[in-house]
Structure 1
């Protein structure tokens, strides 16, 4: 073949390859026919993909496949051997190209079907499914991802996954590395949509591996959990924050303080806890209602918050109690300065729904690390210190006190007594002794005072002076007073059954018990034990008469109407108005023992005791002096006109059996 033919053959070969790869059907048949005619330079050549006609003996066939042929028309011998050789080579080349194309078509079809199937499956998944290569560049992006993020597949594919992050702190490449090592991971993340909206998503990542199990990328499944996260945050807020003031509650406060104390321990710094109890809040809340009380608490909380630093922690523990953590202070005295600042915020009146309200606070202070290493310990000790501050109020806005160990011992003792008092009521550890009251002229026992005694199972006899104040603070005094009244009435019934003439059993009444319900309770006791009212005398202290005198007189009148006598105890130690004293239905004035101790050597005591006796006589009241311990005191009182005496000169408090012996034996004291 000459050079011209070689070039022509190369050109026709390229055309053949292009035709086979790019054409099909009738167009391919026509192009192959054209190429064959050019090669043999005859219009009598054509490509036949399938023989459908009878080929005569004059035709030459060059097979391409079992069905396809190049056909030369005309008589044999009209074509040279060279033409036939060229046509044979063309047939072989065409056969190879068609076979290669068939294989490519088969592979392409399988790949296309797989890709179509994968795409259809991913698009049917409602979750967002994203695949990435190892560098984080997006390879696929399903319809769920389009709906979730707002980006189409064409917008997302090819970009790095980091463009969806909302300032994530985790380094992307390190994240992928950890996933590849661990084999997958689930987390809750924040992502950004095309609109700019940031949302919470549940993200599950797994590695993509090749046939050799080598990682080639990542596949991520995301679903929107924003509503669930909001619900969780709301529940968490309800669990850790006060609904009224939106301050941390006790649980969160202790967590925050404990966490900060660990830092203080590393820095060797000082911290402090302040326990705050509002003064005079309860009467405001009870009088004006809880709605006003709640608004007042919100204003108090806001004033406290504004007075503190950003890193200080303030919480509402409940009711009218707050706590503040000063978690990094230069020295412990700084806590006192903050307490003064907080009290100063209460100086100005609060305006609540048209009411001008004033309120104070008592603040207890504990110091870290000397008073404790944990929030619970510091809170407990600042609570103890608060009680000291409440007893030592120096100004209207309140007072504060630091915790000390002596205070802890005192409070611990009071708590021990409180728990013991509750047990004593349940286990009958109380008893009554009776101290005789003696007619100063005849020596006859004309009555007794019922005195409470507590026989503790471990500590033995405990003085009333020790446990009565605790009972009054805790409110247990109401149960104790009720027990004393019932026990005295029961004893009176026993003496009444012995046909002993009625005499007065004096029962002390606490300020808490002296309310409008007292007359009905006395009536019920008399009815329950079926005793004459002549058996009972109620001793009330002068301090009870200082407030609401009109209501006090009403209560006293109701008691007197029952036939029960009233005695004014500790007279001279209070501040009762003489204008009211003449209106009180009092039977007896009892001179306090503090005025008897100095008689007759102390001129002031003598003057006071004489004046009380003289005034009582003019008001037509009997007078009894308690604490009489010697004959000189008795002689002075007899000369001054005192009616009755009571004290160790005659008898200590004794049991009911001993009183019974005195009564039945006609015993008289020597006067």
Structure 2
């Protein structure tokens, strides 16, 4: 008990006493506070004795000659005031009761403040403790709000990404994504995801240095005190080494380590996937089985190191001649396989086989050795020879063995599994080989078929048509070699030859003083590239040929891709003064909305529509529509394949401008054409 004995206490009124209690509670603690409260009570009641007992229990009645009052707030008992030394009345009791009530309130508030301060201190200590734990763990931990903006960033994240918390907090999480990830917008982190729970995944992320790495990412929802989602907690661990190890294992399982090409297992899977698409498109696919000739001799004589390097060089050459969509595999030893899935006819596989064999014609330099190997190729066709990859590969292997056994030159041996396909292939290969020879040995010639204006019967132009004068077979029909030239790519060389010879002949007629007329040259889709206008300009300049002599005929299929690029090429050709004609119109799929944009001079009605005139009502309707549409668009219209007077009469009545066909003249050699021009046909520049 703390007491203060006052022989002559200094009197205080209730207001002064209340202020003194407030000051004491704010400034003092423990015994000094209790002593001060006792002095204040004695001074208020002018008592010789006054005390505040903090440990006293509540009592029902005070001792004789004393006045006591418990200091109580609600259920809390803080102590008791006691004054003594004189007689006390009801007014004294009321004053002491007021002082006790004020004291109780102040002590209760003070205790609450102390508890709150202590609680805050504990929370701060706990947060600091947790922050230390987060900074010490190996994982990087970060949090984001529901929009994906980073709200916290631990030391592990700093070490993993290279960004400090100051650099990262407040930025959107997308700045950490690797190149392939930014197409995922911020809304890919939805409220629903945070509400439904966590998720684990493997992702690619980017460090401050620019290095891209693999990370294991675990996402968990971040919730507030009411359990509402307010963001995400992300835990990331660098797993680059593990992913690289997995990739190495995958590569070992599915690729030949020596050449880097798919092995037999992966080839089978890739073929199966492609066959699914092929079947859905009702298309054709082929599997080629390739066996190298003389490899075993080289490997046995010069050693495995040279043999391995030789296989790597062969693989590089194979990849160089195949398209991106073709699948090439190294099966084992000196055996390779190729899958072809985007082909129109099975015989196109022979063209690929020839390319593979041709790429091995030049020696392969390995160290100090210049080595030559060849290849025998077997071909299996889907779906005729098999419905799955393994069957097709087995059938192609059988075909390869057959090709090698029966060939005079194994390096040029190619065989289909089915014998009837082989017969067609042999004929095709003979034509292809002969056509290549013809291009360089003067076997090709141009014939010229005149074009006449309806009504006046004046000659307005001619079409240059290539003919093959074979030394043994005689004249080879264009239908036998033009499609082959298109599928093998020889059409480009053939087209260049035709343009060259046609311009040379036109230059002769120009020099002879003949009035100019349009000499039409067919241009294939493969030739119609950005280099064509330059080639045409160079040819005209070389022969000093006026551009009014030349017309280029293009087919509708040429116009089906990259419309803007096609129009740009056509504009450049027109700028040279060379006319453009749309050949075989009506057989393709050109959009009428584009037709008005094409800078063409003439529409040519395909002979497939002319043949039925005038008996076939459908052909009549189509021909009439083409003529009407062409005239409305300001184009001249010519019909090819006109052979009867009835066809001519219909076309004349429908408003067709020009005709071409056997009714007037068949394609003629240059000298016969010139004779007809000078003796029989009137010439007009139209």
Q: Which has the larger radius of gyration?
A: 1
Calculate the TM-score normalised by the size of structure 1. Answer: 0.47
